[in-house]
Chains A and B, each alone.
Chain A
């Protein structure tokens, strides 16, 4: 067993026993399978069926990239504001 193996064993143990158990798999009231059923079911079908062909007219890659950036930034901004709000409450 090499030095790298020993180090990787420690990392593996930390991930398996300490880090991974902290993360839940499902949110209460809205499990991952519910989300997948919702998105992969009628919603995706109808969206694609209704807007097929629009990719020729609009740069969808650009559009989805910007939508992704907007969603990420807005959520991050909301999380930071919520954190600051909580800190203010705790500090009085």
Chain B
């Protein structure tokens, strides 16, 4: 595929790299330092509260419309996400705002401990509608009825515990978690997620006579439980590209719809200094016609479920799954052969893991990919693989001299010569020689490396 855009000179390329590198660094730095409140949305939410305007180290009860019971104070300093927050030694807080039919909340919470015995009521966040009925709740499960849920933070799905879903599988004490919950009162459903993880499925409200949300209650029954920065969920925008869930929403916001080889899923990314014009790679999405699209490097015009659009060509990796082999079918045998087959299956069955257990172990090992250092290594590997694969696309180099523009003629690379009786192109000869140069460079490094060791 050929590039139709003019290729910049090496000097300009260096300048571009420097410019985009600095801009990218600035954006990242800016992203870290930007105050949390500045990105909180305030639409479609009963109320927002950051606890920052309250009298520090005093009981929260009565301040800012909060009702509190037990011992909950306004804490200040390192304990909080930002400046001030609510801190409990044993108690709870609640606040009521304007009823909202379809909306979303985000808040931070942390549990001072996860060693909660069954005699103590666990950590719980509840939202109520304007008619006083429970809409949905999030809670730390520590009872004995459902051992598989013990130690997890769950989302209610109706009132039946059998239908509850896991929000946080392995919550850690003294760690701030950022929870996002959206609800649709007209459909009586809600969904939540935490930190950067994807949303849960849409779940049913706890009660079926709930059509809005107006009150939030935090049960904070152990020392050092905390709540901070309650706000509206920021909407999909250029400042919050990560919240755009569809291609159209992402593009409309001016963000980039990309495929993460690391997470194996599509996501919406923040642009880092690339102009919004049709071009190669990340600019593919701005090409509106098939002709424009296919004229660019690494762009493909195809339907990925949202009509035909221009996408950046990406590599999909297949994730292998482990399959447990099946036992031999003895039903077709008879007599001694069947007995022997059954006995063999019995002993094999003793040591044959179930598919469910194998899947769990497989998922456990996959979970390591999300942990340091494997996640950092994985991203670096993906980065180098993408570059290696993408660089194998040839392109022409236009040159302009005295007002005349021509492409550099690389036809000499295809000149054929005979070496040792074999016909070879100059390109292949050059390719082999370059491999030898690389090998010599590597051997030189290897010698110096071994000398440094000994």
Chain A residues in the interface with B (C-beta under 8 A): 1-5, 8-9, 11-12, 15-17, 20-21, 23-27, 29, 32-64, 66-70, 73-74, 77
Contact = CB atoms under 8 A, between A and B. Distances in A.
Given A2-B354, A58-B431, A52 B371 contact: no
B427 A56 contact: yes
A74 B446 CA distance: 11
Contacts of B416: none
Interface string B325-353: 00000000000000000000000011111
Contact of B395 (A53, A58, A73): A53
B435 interface: yes
A48 B298 contact: yes
B437 to A, nearest CB: 9
A20 B383 CA distance: 25
Given A9-B357, A53-B393, 15 more contacts: A3-B350, A8-B358, A12-B361, A38-B24, A41-B24, A42-B20, A46-B20, A48-B391, A49-B281, A50-B13, A53-B395, A57-B431, A60-B388, A66-B441, A70-B442
A15 B364 contact: yes
B304 interface: no
Contacts of B454: none
A67 B351 CA distance: 44
Contacts of B453: 77
A46 B361 contact: no
Contacts of B360: 8, 12
Contacts of B387: 44, 47-48, 64
B20 A33 contact: no
A78 to B, nearest CB: 11
Given A16-B170, A52-B391, A59 B435 contact: yes
Contacts of B361: 8, 11-12, 15
- The secondary-structure label for the interface of chain A is helix
A58 B234 CA distance: 47
Nearest to A14: B364
Contacts of B97: none
- The secondary-structure label for the interface of chain B is helix
A70 B28 contact: no
Interface in B379-415: 379-380, 382-384, 386-388, 390-395, 413
Interface string B411-454: 00100000000000001001100110011011001000100110
Given A38-B24, A49-B281, A73-B449, A27 B258 contact: no
B270 interface: yes
B297 interface: yes
A20 B13 CA distance: 43
A65 B204 CA distance: 52
A52 B1 CA distance: 10
A21 B172 contact: yes
A42 B260 CA distance: 15
A51 B391 contact: yes
Contacts of B391: 48, 51-55, 60
B64 interface: no
Contacts of A29: 32
Interface in B271-294: 271-274, 280-282
Contacts of A43: 20-21, 24
Contact of B367 (A20, A37, A57): A20
Contact of A52 (B3, B17, B354): B3
B393 A40 contact: no
Given A5-B357, A41-B269, A48-B298, A23 B372 contact: yes
B196 interface: yes
Q: Which of A23, A39, A41 is packed against the most chain B CB atoms within 10 Å?
A: A41
A11 to B, nearest CB: 6
A62 B379 contact: no
A12 B172 CA distance: 18
19 contacts: A2-B350, A5-B353, A5-B354, A8-B361, A16-B170, A23-B372, A24-B371, A25-B370, A32-B379, A39-B383, A44-B387, A46-B13, A50-B13, A55-B393, A56-B431, A58-B431, A64-B388, A70-B445, A77-B449
B199 interface: no
Nearest to B353: A4
Given A20-B368, A37-B270, A60 B383 contact: no
Contacts of B196: 33
A45 B435 contact: no
Contact of A36 (B23, B260, B349, B452): B260
Nearest to B452: A77
Contact of A42 (B21, B298, B442): B21
B150 to A, nearest CB: 12
B261 to A, nearest CB: 9
A28 B330 CA distance: 58
B113 interface: no
B379 A35 contact: yes
B28 A34 contact: yes
Nearest to A54: B391
